[in-house]
Amino acid sequence: DSINPSRKESLIHAKARLSWFATEHLQVHGGLEHFQQFFMEAIDENERSISIPLTAAHLESQYFFNERFTLKGGLRVEAQSYSIQLAPRVSAAYRIDEKQQLSASYGDFRQNQDMPVLIKSPETQQALSRHILLNYQWAHQGVTFRFEAFNKDYQNLLQTSSQGTQNTNGYGYAR
């Protein structure tokens, strides 16, 4: 007597983006995207499945103060059947000369938990990462040197106890 497990995962992704070049110094970009994730797993005749929709909109503006200094700010809004989340992002770049640039950025990013987790608990919180980056780049004649310092904090990471129960109380960081 054999057990016949099967698993299928698929994704549909649609995206639209618009740009408006308001002046020679100001650009505004916006867009919409929709993800539809499908997941099914079965053992012999027993099957379970889930479909997770995610719709997002973003708006960002980029201002060129001069040929050397640029500032960019934006906001991403993500909606799922059980929550609406905001993800702000901002960055600044300063071009030292034709070969060198300094930049700094901040942003919030979200990601769904793995599908085998969501099939059991569809309302499980998304994992959140908060990034702060400082970057120096030198590029000349096809050679690039980049130094990056970063702090990335992670929240709502999936934890599994020794008894097998799961929660999203996990956290971590990368530096």
> Which positions of the chain have pLDDT values less than 70?
1
Print the SS3 string covering 117-170. Answer: HHHHCCCCCCEEEEEEEEEEEEEECCEEEEEEEEEEEEEEEEEECCCCCEEEEE
Cβ atoms of 33 and 59 closer than 8 Å: no
Q: What is the pLDDT of residue 165?
A: 82
Contacts of the segment 120-124: beta carbons below 8 A, 24+ positions apart: 121/166, 122/50, 122/52, 122/81, 122/82, 123/82, 124/158, 124/168
Q: What is the pLDDT of residue 1?
A: 65
pLDDT score for 5: 85
Q: How many residues does the chain have?
A: 175
Query: What sign for the dihedral angle of Cα 63, 65, 70, 71?
Result: negative
DSSP 3: -
Rounded to whole angstroms, the Cα distance separating 130 from 144 reads: 27
Residue position matching structure tokens 């997002």: 56
Q: pTM to 2 decimals?
A: 0.80
